[in-house]
Amino acid sequence: MKPKPELKIVVSNAPPRPPAPDAPPQQVEMPFAVVNGEPFSTLPRDLYIPPQALEVFLEAFEGPLDLLLYLIRRQNLNILDIPLAEITRQYMQYIELMQDLQLELAGEYLVMAATLAELKSRMLLPRPRLDEDGEQDPRAELVRRLQEYERFKRAAAGIDALPRLERDVWPTSAELKERQLLRTLPHIALQEMLVAFKDVVVRAQMFAHHHIQRERLSVGERMSEILAALGERAGFVPFQQLFRPAEGRMGVTITFAAILELMREGLIDIVQAQAYAPLHVRAANPGRMLRVVTDNTEAAAPADEDLS
């Protein structure tokens, strides 16, 4: 933060007197400290200020406008007619102080220093066409900014004075901490689900892929195989032995279809010793009516009719 020589040169050139002869008489500074009843309006040169303390002091300023406003208000100066040279000198003292202490100085402070220096130099120049309306006080823009900033400084204080939730007022509540939201799930009948599923199936069918494959297992072939197997054994064969589970679902289904077909054609008999007992299959005698043999006569009777 050291390289700022050109700003310091401006300061050294600053005449410590009012900028213009028509400026109002210098107002008395408000003392910022009173020591043993003696007011102090400037820092004694030999006063040691711990850097931390100064840092705190400077952090109280919200930027260059705030610092400038502080300098103006502290001395009860008229903001519309700022003694620019004097204010610039004081402002630069603070900036130098900050730089001497190697404090991190926000760039905005330096921009303002440059602005002040520029304004001051312009005030020193003779002004052309003083009587014309077009002529503008070089300070006007700075004054406008200071006033605008001051208004919002007050506005901020106004907002801070509003009753703030959880600082000044608190919402009341009868706490219902134990409350639990029990979401009851809607009751769905199985039927509704089936209906919904049917719709899905119908839609799925629209996209059905037809994969035509040569039938590797034929019912007719399987019928001959079964008859051959039964002929070899010439007796009852347990129903389950006719199946070869290794063939998988399709294979056993084909076998089952073949058995049903053989029954329909009266070529085999299916026998059950008693209810729930294992089924047995044998080749039917040629010419004999197909029937299901069972001990359960009530069940057997309608079966006979159905199959005959």
Partner 1 sequence: MSESYVRNVIEAALLAAGTPLPVAELTRLFEDSARPSSQQVRAALAALAAEYSGRGIELKETASGFRIQVRRELAAEISRLWPERAPRYSRALLEPLALIAYRQPITRADVEAVRGVNIDGVLQTLMERGLVKIAGRAEIPGRPLLYETTQFFLDHFGLRSLDELPNVEELRARHLPVAPPAPAAVAGPGSSTPATTGGVEAEPEPPTPD
Question: Does 75 sit near partner 1 (CB under 8 A)?
Answer: no
State yes or no: residue 5 binds partner 1 (CB under 8 A): no
Q: Considering the rule CB under 8 A, would residue 149 count as an interface residue with partner 1?
A: yes
CA dihedral 143, 149, 151, 153 (to 10 degrees): -140
Work out how close the CB of 163 gets to partner 1 at its nearest, in angstroms, rounded to a whole number.
5
Among 176, 188, 189, 208, binds partner 1 (CB under 8 A): 176
- Nearest approach in angstroms of CB 184 to partner 1 is 21
Q: Which of 135, 92, 96 is nearest to 117 (CA)?
A: 92
Tokens standing for 206?
């629209």
Stretch that binds partner 1, among 3-11, 159-167, 257-265, 287-295 (CB under 8 A): 159-167
Phi and psi (nearest 5°) for 176?
-115, 65
**Residue 112 found at the interface with partner 1 (CB under 8 A):** yes
Which member of 93, 115, 121, 253 binds partner 1 (CB under 8 A)? 115
Q: Is residue 58 a contact residue for partner 1 (CB under 8 A)?
A: no
> Pairing mode, if any, of strands 33-35 and 38-40?
antiparallel
Asked if residue 134 binds partner 1 (CB under 8 A), the reply is yes
Residue closer to partner 1 by CB (options 163, 235) is 163
Which C-beta is closer to partner 1: that of 171 or that of 287? 171
**Residue 300 to residues 52, 189, 276, 293, Cα–Cα distance (Å):** 110, 39, 14, 7
CA distances from 4 to 11, 16, 46 (A): 11, 21, 24
Is residue 64 close enough to count as binding partner 1 by CB under 8 A? yes
- Interface with partner 1 includes 174 (CB under 8 A)? yes
Taking CB under 8 A as the rule, does residue 156 contact partner 1?
yes
* Tokens 């209810």, residue located: 275
Q: How far is the C-alpha of 281 from the C-alpha of 268, rounded, in Å? A: 7
Residue 21 contacts partner 1 per CB under 8 A = no
- Please, what is the minimum distance in Å from the beta carbon of residue 206 to partner 1? 44
Q: Which tokens in the block code for residue 186? A: 């809607």
- Around 267, how many Cα atoms within 13 Å sit in the side-chain half-sphere? 15
Tell me how far apart the alpha carbons of residues 282 and 234 are, in angstroms, rounded to a whole number.
Answer: 7
Q: Look at the block and give the residue holding tokens 């010793």.
A: 273
Cα end-to-end span (Å), the chain: 114
Q: Are strands 268-272 and 279-283 parallel, antiparallel or unpaired?
A: antiparallel
Contact yes or no for 120/52 (Cβ under 8 A): no
Least distance from partner 1 to the Cβ atom of residue 22, Å: 7
Please give the size of the binding site for partner 1, defined by CB under 8 A. 64
Q: How far is the CB of 123 from partner 1 (least distance, A)?
A: 11
Stretches 26-34, 153-161, 214-222, 296-304: which one binds partner 1 (CB under 8 A)? 153-161
C-alpha to C-alpha distance for 301 and 62, rounded to whole angstroms: 107
Of residues 67 and 281, the one with the C-beta less far from partner 1: 67
Residue 54 Cβ vs partner 1, minimum distance, rounded to whole Å: 18
Q: By CB under 8 A, tell whether 181 contacts partner 1.
A: no
Shortest approach of partner 1 to residue 161 CB, angstroms? 7
Task: Pick the closer one to partner 1 by CB: 55 or 247.
Answer: 55
CA torsion sign, 249 to 251 to 252 to 255? positive
Q: Which residues bind partner 1 (CB under 8 A)?
A: 22, 62-66, 80-81, 106, 108, 111-112, 115, 118-119, 122, 125-130, 133-145, 147-149, 151-176
